[in-house]
Amino acid sequence: MNTLLNFRLSWFLICLYCLTAAHAEDQNSATPVSWQEFKSDDGHFSIEFPTAPKIKKNTQESVIGDVINHVFESKTGIGIFSLDYSDIPGFAVSFTGNDKIYSQATETLLKKTFGKIQSSTDIKYQNHSGKHLIYDIQQTSDKPEFDGQTYLFLIEKRLYVINAIAPAATSMSHIKYFLNSVRFY
């Protein structure tokens, strides 16, 4: 489990470095983003990414059994955009409840991104209740500050984590566009 966490943290830091370098090149560009719709019939969603997403699937061991995560991620000079979904065993949803699952997902996200929560609010989106998180990733000596926003939805027993991270000095319009482009079916 620690090996997986170390791998994910290392991978995230590499991604932040790449994003910082790409942002430096893209910062003065007036080129508009050409959003592309991505559809996952297995995941029962569609969403628009700035580039074709890379798709990863991994299994995490937990006290409730193995949980398979499906990750769709796009990295560009304007940010890192991802949608992650996991099927949670039904008994776990019934036993722990939505709030506990949202709390654990928030804790995991903040650990993974080294983020600090600014706000967590209840939302209603397409008739689904969820959480809207806003968080900061502090500046370091070699990385600028980043802003992040996340939607969390537990639809039946599937947890969706829709996340966007962008350099703090940039417009939040790309983050908002991405988050609001998700459609569940």
Whichever domain contains 86, its CATH number is 3.40.1000.10
Domain with 77, as residue range(s), is 2-184
pLDDT of residue 10 exceeding 90, the answer is: no
| Mean pLDDT of all residues in 30-46 | 89
Tokens of 87: 């099927």
- Total count of domains within the chain: 1
pLDDT per position as a tens digit, 86-123: 999 888 888 889 999 999 999 999 999 999 999 999 99
- Cβ burial 121-137 (10 Å sphere, 16+ → b, else e): eeeeeeeeebbbbbbbb
pLDDT of residue 117: 98
Nearest to 159 by CA among 129, 115, 121: 129
